[in-house]
Structure 1
Amino acid sequence: MLRAVETGPAVVVCNTCRLSADAREDEGGQRGGALLARALRQAQEEDPTLAGVAVQEMPCLFACTRHCVVHIREAGKIGYVLGGFTPDAEAAKAILGYAARHAQSEEGVVAYAQWPDGVKGHFITRTPPEGYVCA
């Protein structure tokens, strides 16, 4: 069930997520999560400064009350699950911009003033790294 991936900073995309609260797929039969993964990779191609964060996919992050869900993670740092995105270039740039700042941080904490506007209001959970809890 588990598949090994490269370690390091990553955005894990639920590739089976709904397109929106009202629709499962687009008119071409593509799920929102798959479209978001494609948008993230396209954003990295267009802006190499965003390429330092891996885009990894997996089916279902179990956050099904939200659509287009991602998990931002790196070993030893607080991780975050975000959702409710539109799977487009604007969301992809905001997610990767936040993930790049997360990767540069010591513990995974990014000052609110540095959050891209496109991620504000999309946070679902924060997860402490193994062996730690937040103080």
Structure 2
Amino acid sequence: MSKHVLFVCKSCHRGSEELPEGQPADGTILLDKINNLCHKEFSSDEVEIQPVGCLWACSQGCVVSVSSQDKPTYLFVNLSPEESAAALIEFMQLYIKSRKGNIAWEKFPEILRSAIFAQIPPVATTKKSA
């Protein structure tokens, strides 16, 4: 079983104003909440939380990507650091249980339905013959 990875942009911040000195970015707040919930729900060999400096969607608020080998990658944007962590954990449970990682939009947690930005197909793995 391959590990499922949740990439969380820790520098994301909603709004155009600059952060006051010493205040964490919204992405860092979301990352902390996801880490707290994830450790309660999953084993470390099932899910890896990968903080990243930037996911190149700075104008899109908090950004998270869900990925695993041989499954599509999902990109979520405009996430609320206060409300999205539990929904992302719920989505991860669906994603892990799905053999191919295809989650019907109707099964997405309500808060993530408007946050889905892309579903990227898995990279095809081909076996080379000798």
* TM-score normalised over the length of structure 2: 0.82
- The RMSD of aligned alpha carbons is 2.0
Match of 2:116 in 1: 123
Match of 1:62 among 56, 59, 67: 56
Distance change >3 Å, CA 26–CA 35, structure 1 → 2: farther
Match of 1:85 in 2: 79
Aligned residue pairs: how many? 122
Distance in 1 between the 2:16 and 2:112 partners? 21
* Structure 1 residues not aligned, in runs of 5+: 1-6
Structure 1 or 2: more strand by fraction? 2
Distance in 1 between the 2:4 and 2:112 partners? 17
Match of 1:99 among 92, 97, 114: 92
Distance in 2 between the 1:102 and 1:67 partners? 23
1:11 partnered with 2:6: yes
* TM-score normalised over the length of structure 1: 0.79
Match of 1:111 in 2: 104
Distance in 2 between the 1:120 and 1:114 partners? 9
* Structure 2 residues not aligned, in runs of 5+: 126-130
Match of 1:3 in 2: none
